[in-house]
Amino acid sequence: MSEAPAFGNLRRLTPARLRLDPAGGAAPLSAVLDFQACHARARDAIHAPVDWAALAAALAPLPVLDLHSRAPDRATYIRRPDLGRRLRAEDAAGLTPPPGGADLAIVVADGLSALAVDRQAAGVVKALVARLPGLRLAPVALVRQGRVAVGDEVADRLGADLCLVLVGERPGLSVADSLGAYLTWRARPGTPDSARNCVSNIHGLGGLGHDQAADRLAWLIGAARARGLTGVGLKDESPALAGAAAPGRLAGEGAPPPCELVGREPAAHVPPG
Amino acid sequence: MPSYSALLGGERYRFDGLAPLLAAATPERSGDQLAGIAAESEAQRVAARMALADLPLAEFLTETVVPYETDEVTRLILDSHDAAAFAPFAAMTVGELRDWLLSDAAEARSLARAAPGLTPEMVAAVSKLMRNQDLIAAARKAEVVTAFRNTLGQKGRIATRLQPNHPADDLKGIAAAVLDGLLQGTGDAVIGINPATDNIANCTAILQALDGLRLDFGIPTQSCVLTHVTNTLEIIEAGGPVDLVFQSVAGTEAANAGFGVTLSVLAEAHAAARGLNRGTVGRNVMYFETGQGAPLSADAHHGVDQQTLEARAYGVARAFDPLLVNTVVGFIGPEYLYDGKQIIRAGLEDHFCGKILGLPMGVDVCYTNHVEADQDDMDTLMTLLAAAGVNFVICVPGSDDVMLSYQSLAFEDAAWLRRTFGLRPAPEFEDWLARTGLGEERGLRALPDLGQLARRMGLPA
């Protein structure tokens, strides 16, 4: 097999796995094994459990609530998105508004990447809370086997005006630990995805850092409270965006856009669950 | 509503309606289980197939799975049904259609004559009585040829969509991926980009770049930016270089509404693109993508199994004489197709149904990371599809789509299929590859000068 010329300048133009070997033939073994390594990392991120105890410890002194969706295990969770969107009945029944009320309920759900929750969730929550003085916070809800919409039931039960769900995004081959954040005003079960604002691609490989993400979320929270809405009617005009590339548009990252509908024109992208 | 039944092992199984019968007869898949319409036992599944085998095909012309009054896809299917083409099959059952498809009487010409007489529901039904080898055997006899700047679908040929997606739509990054694909002989079906950003200016800039590349190198192929049909209409009105109109379509009016499309907007776009007269050897200007599970994900499935609804999406596609149709079979996720086995079966069903309905059927042989599948499953499916005579497959650099974050076939896989099965690219494109020094007979010529090609494309080599 011939040695592929380097053509480093061409390779730097795209994160795609360019081969650029005029000789063709079977893919080099090194490329095959690298692909397998990236796929393995993505698979492990999906199937590994979140270290919830470590997360609770990292969030201290913020109080936490340990909750579970209606999906009893990972295999069911993958097959039944509907179960991941609802709380287990006994967990829902135990949720009541905190004394004194709550402006914001923060929910952390594993989604499709345990690695994302392990690496990003505590940092984003702490950076965000530091930016929200005076806001009444409900205890941070930690939902096992949870999807984005499970936050609707949590915030509704806690009587919070705003719901912020931090959830592990579907891993790609390049990035396996990307966190997404979804903000919803007056969330309740059945709230459509068009009523949410999303900050995606929170990760360390060219995505949003914890402070950047917290800046944008704090701006969105302020705007949502001032205008009493979230979703398509609330455009993200946060100053943190000025001059920065939009998330998912960073060359070299291959940021995973969440897709559930088969339609692959970007307008059809919807939150992962 | 009629009910259907079959006796199996001393037990009588009843199915209250055509949709429940079709759903119960379907091979196991997670999407039908999620919708709560899958067979409740393996015995019930086989009993449903026995009842389906005895069902007259004519039943599908009087019994609908989605109401005629409220669904324009049903109206399209029944109003455009060709009774004369159906006449030879009018007395057959679904089981007898299966036997005919596998007989010598079914060959390229008789299949082409039959297509307008068969409805999507009939073809979906017969597929449920067919094993994987039957789906391959029948589909490989069909020949659906379409053309724009080259001729696609001839026997003995396999085409490829070169998909050079980039997470930031960077034009030089896209060009580098196009170069990589051309080096390995891909791109005759279309050079087609999924844009990361769906605004008109961005899509137009990508189209202009792809068109410039095509003109500079004289490549006999077509380009496409896979944006919403209404965006493409705007780009056409503004004078952008649109070869093909792309749109995702589904098998119910409500699911198409979820995609923001109606039959009338598709007709408008079809007419607009034909009016541009940009094709040189043919006038097929539409490119459709479909996939089992889309209606369920839009909560628009009417209790009909996802494979039957997928065939109805082909009913939508064939009304617009497309150049290309492909199912994105493994893209939709494990809640619809759980693992490699389900993806492989669905890929063969989709290809068979499309071909028998007269469509130029391709497949995106692919999976996402949360599906129980890997590249070995894709090797299996692409091999089976090549045996089945698939019109085209989709290829990305190194199997890794860095914009949509899923895995498809690599450029090397297309070369492997050509080598292993003795298949060739579209004839006009094959000639161009030979003229450019990129042809298959690599031993008989000097290797192409990559640096020179790159510089011609304005890339820093």
In tens, the pLDDT along B135-147 reads 999 999 999 999 9
Residue B347's closest CA among B164, B339, B117?
B339
Question: What stretches of B360-440 adopt beta strand conformation (E)?
Answer: 361-363, 392-396, 400-401, 406-407, 409-410
b/e map B332-349, b = 16+ CB within 10 Å:
bbbbbbbbbbbbbbbbbb
pLDDT for the residue A179: 95
Q: Would you say residue B315 has pLDDT above 50?
A: yes
Judged by a CB distance cut-off of 8 A, whether residue A4 touches chain B is: no
ipTM for the predicted complex: 0.94
Alpha carbon of B130: minimum distance to chain A alpha carbons (Å)? 26
Q: Are residues A174 and B402, on separate chains, in Cβ contact within 8 Å? A: yes
Q: Is B252 on the interface with A (CB under 8 A)?
A: no
Using the Cβ of A255 and the Cβ atoms of chain B, whether some distance falls under 8 Å is answered with: yes
Section B295-299 average pLDDT: 83
CB distance B352 to B106 below 8 Å: no
Q: Is the pLDDT of residue B326 over 90?
A: yes
User: CA-CA-CA-CA torsion for A230, B404, B289, B308, nearest 10 degrees?
Assistant: -80
B46–chain A Cβ distance below 8 A for any pair: no
Report which of B356, B168, B326 is spatially closest to residue A244, judged by C-alpha positions: B168
CA distances from B335 to A216, B25, B330, B400 (A): 32, 19, 11, 22
Per-residue pLDDT at B181 exceeds 70: yes
Q: Per residue of chain A (273 residues), what is the pLDDT tens digit?
A: 444 556 888 999 999 999 998 888 899 999 999 999 999 999 999 999 999 999 999 999 999 999 999 999 999 999 999 999 999 999 999 999 999 999 999 999 999 999 999 999 999 999 999 999 999 999 999 999 999 999 999 999 999 999 999 999 999 898 899 999 999 999 999 898 888 999 988 998 888 999 999 999 999 999 999 999 998 788 777 765 433 333 332 222 223 333 233 345 543 333 444
Task: Give the pLDDT confidence score for residue A5 in this predicted structure.
Answer: 56
Residues of B in contact with A80 (CB under 8 A): 34, 335
Per-residue DSSP letter, B299: T
Residue with tokens 């724009």: B148
Chain B residues 105-124 within an 8 A CB cutoff of chain A: none
Taking residue B230's Cβ as centre, other Cβ atoms within 10 Å add up to 16
Q: What is the pLDDT of residue A220?
A: 95
**Percent of chain B scored above 90 by pLDDT?**
89
B191: contact with A, CB 8 A cutoff = no
Among candidate residues B267, B286, B281, B255, the one with its CA nearest the CA of residue B359? B286
**Cβ–Cβ of B451/A7 closer than 8 Å?**
yes
Q: What pLDDT, on the 0 to 100 scale, is given for residue B403?
A: 87
Predicted local confidence at residue A254, as pLDDT: 29
Contact between chains at A261 and B370 (C-beta distance less than 8 A): no
Does A267 contact B198 at a Cβ distance shorter than 8 Å?
Answer: yes
Domains and CATH numbers, chain B: 4-139 (1.10.220.70), 146-444 (3.20.20.70)
Q: Which structure tokens are listed for B341?
A: 């086995």
pLDDT digits (tens, 9 = 90+) for B73-111: 999 999 999 999 999 999 999 999 999 999 999 999 999
Residues B8-28: pLDDT tens digits? 999 999 999 999 999 999 999
**What domains lie within chain A, and their CATH numbers?**
50-268 (3.40.50.11240)
pLDDT at B269: 98
